Structure 1
Amino acid sequence: MYDIQTIFQTANPILNQMPYPMMILNPEGIVLAWNRQAEKTFGYCAEDVLGKFIPFIEEERTYFYKDLWQKIIHSADPLHLESITISTKKGEIVNTPITLKAFTIDNDRYIFCQFNLGSEEQQDLLSFNEFTSIRDGLESSFMMLSIDQEGLISYANNLFLKYSKWTPKRIIGKTFWQMFPQTPESSVVADAIWKSLQNGRQWKGEAEKITKDGQSYWVDLTAIPIFTSAKKPSNFILLENDITDKKRLQNRLEKIAYIDQETGLMNRYRLEQIVNTMISENHHFTFVYFSIDKFYSLKELYDDQAEQVLIQEFTQRMKMYFQDSSMARVSIDEFVVLTPLGEWFIQGFLTYLEQHPIYINNSTLPLSISGGITKYPDDQISFTHLMKASYAAIQKVQSEGGGSISSLTKADHKALHKKSVIEKRLLVALDKKDLKVLYQPQLDLITGKITTVEALVRWEDEEIGTVSPEVLIPIAEETGLINDIGSFMLEQACLQAAAWHRKGIDLKVSINSSVREFRDKNMVKQVRRILEDTDCPAELIQIEITEKFALEAEAETSIIQQMKQLQNEGIVFALDDFGTGYASFRYMQLLPLSQIKIDQTFISTIQYQPKSQMLIQGMIQFGKSINMSVLAEGVETQEQQDILTEFGCDAIQGYHISRPIEAKEVEKLL
């Protein structure tokens, strides 16, 4: 028999498959199990935490958490904490939601915690003669069976008889196959064991067995062919260790890991497994994504119990309506149904909810849901794309007021597919550095010289052709690849500025940056490293931000600090597309801005609209009043340049000066 520590250690493989950090505690808060994802997330290896009271929790909070463990131990319901403070091994402070659930093994309670942010084959056993000399030791440690060449049991030791509840009289002469459950799955295992033995090979693995009275138990089984002088084995030995407790624990952990505790539905991770299996088996099905409209507003209308009642009652109605369909809860207020039923039936769920209202405090809950329908394989052909398409359909429904179930058009699905292809090819392009950089000159109206160029990303893929910045940038921002593009552009800009500097050309290179990049606390370190690696003077680099960036940065002290650090290094900041974004001038006080760029939409009408002229003149005067230079974008004619010069604009950029061109072409304009 295994002690409890061994059981948890042998159960670690199931925990290590989970995509979430997880651990198991005893009632005193001592760590008994710690999965691989927890190690990656918090930096502590199993040796750091096993057998200890959660060493990464702040010492002054120890008594609070010990009391919390005791509260959970005596509760049948899971407990969800919105935030628990954890110090990683590197000393970083992390606040993460956590779900805790108590469970029982052999009358003892343990706590399963989920943070929401195989062994080698043994060497061949000894020969028959050596085996007989240690048989007594094996008999005392293993359940043991001897089987003859016909597959009939010729011997069973006392441990086997104890676990299987057979008697020698009843078991001798029985077939090897009678020890296994009479199910297709067990028959496959038994046949595989027998085939290996017949071919003179040992077999090792887990197997389900049955007792004399039909009760299942699990064993870790090693089946060994025994050779004497003949080339074929003369008989076979089965050595077994009981692992029933381990399998029961594994089943409990699977239930906790794969099942949403509040509703009993499978969770998103299990849903993905089911969908991928259905796809591999070429099942046709409809993927239905439901979202409860205005969920958080509904929560605020009622008491603390309303959320639980709402979720449980909605789940019950979903189960009643979509009988024999697979269902999952993928977030607090979102659900998925996998069904073979047609769209007309799915639409009928709205009527069913109206006919079966949910009551809270004796009043009808004003429930409304939005749904998205996607068919496999007609619409999409992978789990990720089924999710994305269905969620896109929900967003479309909610933008129109919610309360309906819809599907995307073929054109919508085609656009999603194209977007998916672009995402994949962008990963390849970034890996191979296939993106291209062009430079658009900016003319200083006072000196008449080109003093700055704006670095612009361009992408022409060998499979999908030219991808415009208007398509590329939104996809990059949505997928998080904008950071990679930003790093690429910064490196290329520094390389080019440094190359010009070595030629005696001190031309400033301006690059665009996103707020996502500056939310990375290592942004300053990265910029410094690239400047050093490329030997580029910091004063030759300018970073352009949008008004949306500025408005978000205004509320985040860390972003402002990083911008000021870079300013101290010599880098200057410009506010791009001025006048088209969010109306707030507070960030003009907080952010280290040196230039504003008037958007081309104002410049295009400057020749014939007096209001545009007055507005642009006001922008220029505003910029100068706060000691900022002013640049006008989108200048396409000499007349526009003359008006801007008259208004006192400092610099211009646009096709009148030059289209975006390669670096060698820039040098010809200087």
Structure 2
Amino acid sequence: MIILMVGLLTCLGVKLFAEYLANLLLPKVRNNSNSEPKKIFCKPQLTDDEIQTVMSKIQNCASQLEHVFFERTSELHKEIAERKRIQTELEKSLSLQYATLESTADGILVVDSQGKIAGFNQKFLQMWCIPESVISSGNHTKALRLAIKQLEAPRQYIATIRELNLNPDIQIYDAIAFKDGRVFERYSQPQCINGEIVGRVWSFRDVTAHKLAEAKIRHQALHDILTNLPNRVLFNERLSQALAQAQKSGNKLAVCFLDLDRFKTINDTLSHGIGDRLLQIVAQRLMECIGETDTLARWGGDEFTLILPNIKDTKEVAAIQDRILAAFKPVFDIENYQLHISPSIGIAVYPMHGNDAETLIKNADAALYIVKSQGRNNYQFYNSEINADSSKLLILENSLHYALERQEFEIYYQPQVNITTGKITKIEALLRWRHRELGLISPDEFIPIAEETGLILSIGEWVLKTACAQTKFWQENLDLPSLSVAVNLSARQFQQRNLVNIVSQTLKETKLKHQCLELEITESVAMQNVEFTRKILSELYNLGVSISIDDFGTGYCSLSYLKNFPIHCLKIDKSFVRDLSHDNHDAAITTAIVRLAHGLKLAVVAEGVETEAQRNLLQLLDCQLMQGYLFSRPLPAEDVTKLLRKSKSRRISTSFLVA
């Protein structure tokens, strides 16, 4: 356009210039109006000044034309350059937008105001598994059907689209779930041009991995890593929900607090790895005992909690506890270790034992404490008297920490008698605690507490040294060189890694001969870890001390292991002796134990002999070593000294009873 204008101006300038020259050089003939024009041809005559003037005007006109030409040309070049720049920038912008659209991790979809697809990126097609040919063909309905079929809640998706059609100016941000487990975050906003909505832009982001990570973090926050059971936080949440439901429906529920008996011994001796594996197996067995609506949680350490919702009565709860106790009877076989462990369970029932979670948990824990103090391996429902008992147990536990340094412990001794010779062959050391305020405390009350707190180690070492020193005193002062002493080892003591060194050092300090010390362990302790038991017993046997299995017949001892244990004596539990005279089963068991001991060339001792009838039956069964009230109660050292002096002068009669 500019070139055309410059051309026209140039042509017009030349024309004007020619006319100017003609007017200037050709003279005009003035004729009268009545006369006809005459044709005259003459040679123009110009002066130098006129010629100079003409030339100057011509130059000025030419200069003006040249200036206009170059000015118009320059503007043309600028406009062309600007158009090229704008085109280049536009191409760059479009390229950047395309690259950005295709490089984003989000799937992008653009639809116009009619709902037709106006644009998309390849990520959108990949995420939604829609062939590009379907969209390119313009079959938008088919594309929508392909997308909706993949969703977990297609109706909700369609409802959202309808809502946007009714309210095109709103934005949405939510998540949609797919049938295959994927989760997309969805964002949509209207597309506007000059304030008018012309379509809508959709953005989809795959957050499946993020959601899975969030779910994993939440799961870990609410579950025990070792057993994968709910932890204390989730247990409390579910208990609150169960209580709310029970209050609404009027149903009962039970909260159970379960603790593994003497689990710490396994951890301390076999490593935490074995203990962890045991906890995992325990969790599996417990899960097999409960229903789908019940909640089993790991409270911490070796403690588990259980919610039993919608129960009818306490009988139903008791039946579940019986199943749990039965599930612990089979041996736990872990890395060639055969372990025996039992649970103690406390139970509180809503609404009888509490109306809120805190009270129910506290009362179930209090009931558990009673079970542990009464021998363990059982369950107990909470009752109003338990709080008083729990208070007493708390006092005992606090006092137990200072009992040793306050010299409140005493050792009583009970003799073992050979009924054939009437001689006292051995003295069993039995621990007693004389509390400053509560008086004499039964071992059944404080020994479990000492086990749990670990105080049994220091207490047990004191008992061992005191009993050995006392026996050495009797040997030297009463001329009883063959008198021996039996000392009980608790589960926690037996599992000490330095037990053999402690025994050896004690015998060295007290100067008691090794063969004059007998160490007693219960059958259940021996079977907790067979390999460890065999190792320790072998070391003690090589040291020269005697080993006896106490409470034989009440545990889980396998005869195949018994024959491999380096032991010297079996002690028949008093529960078999008590009903020996009128219970054929007890008589049969006792007979089998005596014959087993003789067959293995082991000594056998009957405990709890209280009547002559029991004594006579045991003698008929060829059991010569006996211990019980028939011969003597456990006595302080001073009284035992008197008893030993008497036993030297005459044989102990079966009717000789010591008060």
TM range (shorter): 0.3 to 0.5
Which TM-score applies when normalising by structure 2?
0.44
Q: Which has the higher contact order (CA 8 A, sep 6+)?
A: 2
Larger radius of gyration: 2
Normalized per residue, the structure richer in helix is 2
